[in-house]
Copies of this chain bind each other. A is one copy, B any other.
Amino acid sequence: MADALEPEQLTTYFALMESASLLQHAVEQQLRSQSDLSHVQFQLLAKLAGTEGRMTMTELADGVVYSRSGLTHQAGLLEKEGLVTRAPSPDDQRATLVTITDAGRALVGRVLPGHIEVARRLLFEPLSDDDLRHLGDIMGRVRDHMRAQPPRSTAARRRRPPRAKERPAKG
């Protein structure tokens, strides 16, 4: 099974995962205290707000991950709250174009400062400017690398051979 990770890699990996977990947890609480958004919902809105405002479901899924059904579910919730709208794409009738509404933008604007404050307090407080530069550079590359990786959430269906149940019953 190849050789194990260098100890430094293992340590780094665990530190990263624990930090991300703690940060996500904190962010989630902040979001809920200030809105009715889950972290995923916020990410979807933020993504829409940052990218011209409209994307297809598939584009939207990218990076935020999830099964399609999960995305459909979340998009449905956001739509029900009037934060986005969904309409068939003019280019491709199969595609659904998700558009952020003014209310959606407003909500992002309202929630973002507190969100940011959490990130600053938990993540950036102990970091120097130099650290920040390194971290930004590194994580940017890592993210791009991961995005380029084959098993993207959206592609899941294609690459799922019809194997039998490999996880029969568990309990």
Contacts and interface: CB of A to CB of B under 8 A. Distances in A.
Interface in A2-21: 2, 4-6, 8-21
Interface in A112-142: 112-114, 116-117, 119-127, 131-136, 138-142
A36 to B, nearest CB: 5
Interface in A72-103: 77, 80
Interface string A1-43: 1101110111111111111111111100100110010000001
Contact of A140 (B11, B46, B119): B11
Contacts of A20: 16-17, 20-21, 24
Contact of A138 (B1, B29, B121, B134): B134
A8 B130 CA distance: 12
A63 interface: yes
A15 B65 contact: no
Given A18-B64, A20-B20, 14 more contacts: A5-B119, A8-B136, A11-B140, A12-B132, A12-B136, A13-B116, A14-B46, A15-B136, A16-B20, A16-B139, A17-B24, A20-B21, A21-B65, A77-B171
13 contacts: A1-B114, A5-B124, A6-B132, A8-B133, A17-B20, A19-B142, A21-B64, A25-B65, A32-B167, A122-B142, A123-B146, A126-B142, A134-B134
